[in-house]
Structure 1
Amino acid sequence: MQLNLKTIENVGHDVYRIILSSDEVLTYEAGQYLLVKMGANDERPFSIASSPSKDRFIELHIGATPENPYAWDVIEQLRTKGNIQVSLANGKAYLQPDEKTIVLVAGGTGYSYVKSIAYEAVTQQLENDIHIFWGAKEFSQLYEAEALTNLAHDHDNIFFHPVVEGADEDWSGATGLVHQAVLNHFTDLSHLQVYIAGPFPMAKVAREDYTNAGLPNSALFGDAYAFI
């Protein structure tokens, strides 16, 4: 499938928010990812940030610098050619709600995974309580914090928890590691359904800590767990 570039925007800290369109029907689940085909044996995964039931486009959030050709080459191809070849849809860690409280955990640009699920839950009018934990080194890296604050304000069942690792004295919110912020908020995780995206080391330690706090393996979702 070919996706055509509509907009590309640097939202700060080397993160690009990209909107792509297609002449074909876009079929995927909230929380899945696409593979960008850069060569015969070169496919690169990126989480889809858009909501499949609401949006008629594909949104990506890509962290990229010239020193990181794996992601930067995709940005450059979009800028020069105006399109990319992709395969939809990949991953089994998509939204699969039950009656439990939903917890969405994102480190950095793992937010794209969480965004798709959060906004799809709103579109589906899920009544579950939904807690969004998004962590970064600095608050300015939480580039859609205002949008999530507004989302929580508009929906009584949605709660946004920004987490900053290295906060200064003016920060009054949660500090430290984002996966730990979940444990600080919920001492018992047995009644939760958790979706997580971020660096593999974060996902690995989260699985260990959440299991110890009572979260069943069947209630933990993340693409990283297919590889670690």
Structure 2
Amino acid sequence: MSQYGVDYLQRLRAAVEKFEEAFDAWMSTQVESDHMSARGLFPTVWTKEGQDQSEVQRLELGVAEAAGLAASAVSVTGAYIGIAGLGAIDPISNWSFMSAPKAPIAPRDIRTTTANVKGRLDAMIVDAESRTDSDLPTFAPAQFHPVVWAGASAHWTTHQYRVAVREAAEGLTVHWKERLGRNDVDDTVFWQQTLSPGAPEPGKPKLTWPGGGRMTRR
């Protein structure tokens, strides 16, 4: 159960729609590319020839403002996308990355994420509208770490809670195996070795939990 109310979720959805409109207006002034064409070296958008630069800038600022208004939508719904070397990122908040060299996202990523967010918000609104009084404490799963929520969100918002927990656990394991360079062992052995007491061995780093909700490598 989520602590988000119907009114908040509806306003957040409206903010996402406003972002979508502003983004489409700005994209009408841009040449659109994709990851394959950019080859990981170039921007995935650039301004079309003959455009009024002041108008382009006005539309660009409109996207930035709308993105700020919709900034919490991805964290609430968990609609992050995974980027090699960057991890889970929010395409709406980071839409301007498309204009940079080695752009990690493309216009298609923005549009897909926006549609995904709207669908998940609709599901959450239905849940909030049908919620009955309960003695159970409420919580917001989107307050989980992005690595956990990114894996769980698609299933959690459709009430597949067991699948959500499993996917979150698998995502967390993949995250730490990649960070520690331990793709040489299966998941169970990885956690047994990584969280076991004692000093780490060469090629087998360990994690400690010093408190404060964060793990550290040693």
TM range (shorter): under 0.3
Q: TM-score, normalised by structure 2?
A: 0.25
Higher share in strand:
1
User: TM-score normalised to the size of structure 1?
Assistant: 0.25
Larger fraction in helix? 2
Find the structure with the greater CA-based Rg.
2
